[in-house]
Amino acid sequence: MTSTKNIASLRRLNANEHAVRFSGPAGQLEAVVSAPGVDDQIRAVAIVCHPHPLHGGNLDNKVAHTLARSLCNVGAVTIRFNFRGVGDSAGAYDHGVGETQDLLAVIHSARAAYPGYEVWLAGFSFGAYVALHATQYVAVDRLITVAPPVNIFNLAELEAPACPWLLVQGKCDELVPYKDVLRWTSRLYPAPEAIYLDDACHYFHGKLSLLRDVVEHALREGEQRYGLAGNG
> Residue 232: inside a domain, yes or no?
no
> Residue 231: inside a domain, yes or no?
no
pLDDT band at residue 6 using 50, 70 and 90 as cut-offs = very low
Question: How many domains in the chain?
Answer: 1
Average pLDDT for residues 99-121, to the nearest whole number? 97
Whether the ω angle into residue 115 lies within 30 degrees of 0, i.e. cis, is: no
CATH of the domain at 156: 3.40.50.1820
pLDDT at 221: 86
Q: How far apart are CA 109 and CA 28, in angstroms?
A: 13
**Structural domain for 165, as ranges:** 7-226
Average predicted confidence (pLDDT) for the chain: 90
Least Cα distance to 48 among 134, 156, 117, 114 occurs for 134
- Which tens digits make up the pLDDT trace of 204-221? 999 999 999 999 999 998
> Residue 136: inside a domain, yes or no?
yes
> Residue 78: inside a domain, yes or no?
yes
How would you list the strands of the sheet with 44-49, edge to edge?
17-24, 27-34, 76-81, 44-49, 118-124, 142-146, 165-170, 193-197
pLDDT at 4: 40
Q: Is the dihedral of CA 91, 47, 121, 51 positive or negative?
A: negative
> Residue 174: inside a domain, yes or no?
yes
- Which tens digits make up the pLDDT trace of 59-88? 999 999 999 999 999 999 999 999 999 999
> Residue 1: inside a domain, yes or no?
no
- Which tens digits make up the pLDDT trace of 172-195? 999 999 999 999 999 999 999 999
> Residue 105: inside a domain, yes or no?
yes
In degrees, rounded to 5, the angle at the alpha carbon of residue 13 between the alpha carbons of residues 11 and 16 is 100
pLDDT at 1: 31
0.85 surpassed by pTM: yes
